[in-house]
Chains A and B, each alone.
Chain A
Amino acid sequence: MQIYGAAYKLLRKFFFAARRTVQKFLVILAIKLQEIAKNTLYSVEGKSMKHKNCPQIHKLSSSLDSASLSKAKDQLGRLKQLTVDCAEIGEEISRVVAGLRQVAAPDGQPFLFTTVLKENRKLLDAVFRDCADIKYRSFQAKDRQALLVYLDGMTDMTILEKDVLQTLMSTGQEQNTIDLNMLVNNLLTSAGLTVSYQANQSIEAVMTGNALLLVDGIAQGLLISTTKHVKRPVSEGTAEDVMRGPHDAFNETLNDNLVLIRRRTRDTNIKIRIMQIGERSKTAVAVLYAANLVKPGLVEEVERRLQLIKVDKILSAGMVEEWLVDRPWSPFPQMQGTERPDKMVAALYEGRVGIIVDNTPFVLMAPCTYNLIMQSADDYSMPPLVSSVLRATRHIAAFIAIYLPSLYVAIISYHPGMLPTTMAISVAEIRARTPFPSFLEALLMEALLEIFQEAVVRLPRKIAPAASMLGGFIIGNTVVQAGLINPLLVVIIATTAIASYVMPSYAFSMGLRTLRVPMLLLASIFGLYGVMLGILAVTIHVCSLKSFGESYLGGILNINLIGDWKDSFVRLPQRLLTTRPQEFGPQDPIRSGGKNG
């Protein structure tokens, strides 16, 4: 404290000295300028008397050295520097003052509540300084003065008025004195009531919409659950549409999302742990799991990784995902995202862990495998044969989405002999009309496609269809007519784009799109050999990816996990899906036919 005091005095002295210097300088400057103006005026008048025809006007600096431009610049620079120094000193002083203002409190707590309401109000004022939406309501509660603190717009005023103000301000009751016990047990009728001993807890509660009641003579705060804020209702999903499955989707409110899960299962083994992430935003993050199914250690690993997130703010699930995954540079999503509660419940019963981030309608599920990414909720509401065909289509589409343009470039540039003769001749004829080599053609087309896709995503919904029509028309017709790109390539790129839209996960389809250009490059250098090198590199990368310790490829083509193949490339009827996927190591592998099935 002594050091702070000495520093404060020193800085204060310095600040005032600097201020005095600046003031003096400005006063001297003003006086000098006045003198210069007068002298100039006189000299001009005097000279004009002597030389009436040609009045001689000199520069001000010639008569007054201190008025020269360079000097003025120097002075201005000094002035600027002084201003900057003053600002820095000011900041330093505020820090020192803030340090001096700190009251004795345990670590992590800004202060301790006292029994004096005025003191508590002062302390809260300091914390909520410049928070215009924080409201204080002082009132007389029986024989004591009380203070209600709440966040305007996030608090249910009706509850406050009915359960707090009316009860405490009424004078009809016999008992005229109140204490903490009476408040909790007799007077406050709110269901969500917590006695808070810690200032930090109280402040956080106020910031989430609860009301804080402080009473003179009581060194604790009472937190009344009154949260009510504007939110989006539970509505239909926008990213994962299904034909026959349920249509409700998660919204931005954590509690609503938890309700959507609980409504689908009444299982007490579905556990929810809520933690806060973001050192400033303190965003609520819920970790969900089925206690009797999840692989031992998985929940702890998820929580450990969540606790390791040291960042000031968390605004979306995407930010959390990036912190949790092992390989953030990979183009492939390593956690599954969904906005569908039914998908989340299914994941929990497979022994996986769900993560819901407040303020995000997309939830995360871990571990995630390629196999899961290629599944859609619709697969389970369609006949098994149909969904098996659809799944096979998706896998083929994934291959096409990455490799088709590169195969085109490789075959056209290096191995035209692989084409049937008639087709080779017609392709050669078509290509003769375009000036670019096939690689450049494909690259140009890819660039156009990406530009249009990005434009359609970014544009307002009303304009987007017009832009896509324009893009389609330009790509499909004009570019070909202009002789820039051959029609076969248009077919190839269009097929590629449509194939990438088939993916149930948008993040995965973006990953596929990212790989197209490097593949094109390899194809243009090495032909089919280059394509194969690319395929091998992608395969190695995908095989090396791990999602919370599990292989990203999951059970695909793993003969050790042949039991998982029944719900992989194909989907067998429900009555044959008797076991849970082994790839997640569930505690109870039996899904149906067992004692719980």
Chain B
Amino acid sequence: MANLEHKQQMSTADFAVMVIAATFGSQFILQTRNLIADAEQLAWLSVVLGGLVYYAAAYLMLSLGRQFPGESPVSYLPRLWGPFLGNIILLWFVMVFIEMFWLGMAGFSHVVTFFMLERTPSEVVTLGMLAVLVYLSLQDLGTIIRVQMFVTLVAIPIVTVVWLLSIFNFQPDNMLPLWPLKIKGILSGAVDSWSLYGGYELVLLFLPFVCRQNTRPARAIGWAFFCVTLLFVSTVVLSVGVLTSDAAVNTPYPTMIVIRSVELPGTFVERLENYLLFAWMPAVFSSLTMFMYIPALVCAQRWGHADHRPWVLLLAPIMFTGAVLLDNAKIIHQVSNFLMTVALSFSFIVIPVSLFLSWRRDKKRRGNP
């Protein structure tokens, strides 16, 4: 696709980058501990299984979108479910992203204040990031895609390189026993790994923007899932390999402890945690942008506005307030569980039923031409 003016379309490559940007965000540092708690040494297997399961969910969304080519879910969901239920589902969809924003932003602010800006109120950190997020969300889709591509292609490779330096402290023995026979834990971990992959729901909204000429969005999304799965697998494997699963579970942010333990004697670069955080910030920014832009876009489409920008400004205080209110681990845990329930039910109940409804509708149409 040529690099042209105000873009309202995206290529499959852009589509894949958007999925990577949305999924690889704050969770990289925040959620590793929970996964290891579930599946211990085999957390990597949970991550792989989770990747497959959530790719399947994304595939279902793509299938639903294909039933209504060029149409936004904001227009076809109320048609499928009726106006009342349709609007409830849209609200459900918006709430998933808003809650993901709250959790992501709250976790990010805590990590930044904890490791970089001690004694700085986390609200200040939240406000700073929110300003930049609003600035990007106020741009057109073409600019957002461009920023996502730029940031993703710069930040994620740097995060990966810095993170992989922790391989110097990797102890293969920590991965033993290789098969701890914790099937339940592995499955539970696979479900919990939604917290890593959360954000793929955007495919439902962005599919109509994807160019429909000679494109295979399913394959592009597959590649996106493959990339993030590799990154998440490396995260849990290195965390367990460096710290042991027990130590990782007892640490609030195991990835940060892992990177802090890396020493590169004789080089100018020391204490890598700040470098990792510095490179991680744009990744968080990318995912939070999507979580802010999507609710604004859905609201704008729902109320028939051509411009999503007033909605960004309207939602910004809500986003800020929610993120600031999640100020302790207990609330964060509760909201996180609630979010997972809401999101999983959306992916595995609402979408399949919607798909079924659309098939039934098609059948009826074919029966009564």
A binding-site residues for B, Cβ under 8 Å: 414-415, 417-421, 423, 526-530, 532-533, 535-537, 539-540, 543-544, 546, 549-551, 553-561, 582-583, 585
- Residues of chain B within 8 A (CB-CB) of A550 are 3-5
- Residues of chain A within 8 A (CB-CB) of B116 are 414-415, 527-529
Whether A559 contacts B5 by the Cβ 8 Å rule is: no
- Residues of chain A within 8 A (CB-CB) of B271 are 417-418
Known: A417-B274, A546-B5, A560-B13. A539 touches B268 (CB 8 A): no
Q: How far is the CA of A423 from the CA of B267 in the complex (A)?
A: 12
Q: Which of B263-318 contact A (CB under 8 A)?
A: 268, 270-271, 274-275, 277-278, 281-282, 285
Known: A540-B136, A543-B147, A582-B2. A532 touches B274 (CB 8 A): no
Q: How far is the CA of A539 from the CA of B146 in the complex (A)?
A: 10
* CB of B80 closer than 8 Å to a CB of A: no
* CB of B128 closer than 8 Å to a CB of A: yes
Please tell me the size bucket of the interface on B: 35 or more
Q: How far is the CA of A544 from the CA of B144 in the complex (A)?
A: 8
Q: Which of B189-215 contact A (CB under 8 A)?
A: none
Q: How far is the CA of A440 from the CA of B357 in the complex (A)?
A: 66
Q: What's the nearest-Cβ distance from chain A to residue B6, in Å?
A: 8
Whether B3 contacts A560 by the Cβ 8 Å rule is: yes
A-B contact count (CB 8 A): 105
- Residues of chain B within 8 A (CB-CB) of A526 are 117, 120, 125, 128
* CB of B154 closer than 8 Å to a CB of A: yes
Known: A415-B274, A528-B278, A529-B281. A540 touches B147 (CB 8 A): yes
Partner of B128 from A533, A539, A557, A561 at Cβ < 8 Å: A533
Q: How far is the CA of A544 from the CA of B146 in the complex (A)?
A: 8
Whether B117 contacts A414 by the Cβ 8 Å rule is: yes
- Residues of chain A within 8 A (CB-CB) of B4 are 549-550, 585
Q: How far is the CA of A139 from the CA of B125 in the complex (A)?
A: 85
Q: How far is the CA of A111 from the CA of B278 in the complex (A)?
A: 72
Known: A527-B117, A559-B149. A532 touches B278 (CB 8 A): yes
Whether B143 contacts A544 by the Cβ 8 Å rule is: yes
Whether B143 contacts A554 by the Cβ 8 Å rule is: no
* CB of B150 closer than 8 Å to a CB of A: yes
- Residues of chain B within 8 A (CB-CB) of A544 are 139, 143
Q: How far is the CA of A593 from the CA of B3 in the complex (A)?
A: 24
Q: How far is the CA of A560 from the CA of B10 in the complex (A)?
A: 9
Q: How far is the CA of A585 from the CA of B277 in the complex (A)?
A: 39
- Residues of chain B within 8 A (CB-CB) of A546 are 5-6
Known: A414-B116, A551-B146. A560 touches B1 (CB 8 A): yes
Q: What's the nearest-Cβ distance from chain B to residue A136, in Å?
A: 54
Whether B132 contacts A536 by the Cβ 8 Å rule is: yes
Q: How far is the CA of A218 from the CA of B131 in the complex (A)?
A: 73
Q: What's the nearest-Cβ distance from chain A to residue B1, in Å?
A: 5
Partner of A532 from B3, B11, B150, B281 at Cβ < 8 Å: B281
Q: How far is the CA of A415 from the CA of B275 in the complex (A)?
A: 11
Q: How far is the CA of A555 from the CA of B131 in the complex (A)?
A: 27
Q: How far is the CA of A530 from the CA of B268 in the complex (A)?
A: 23
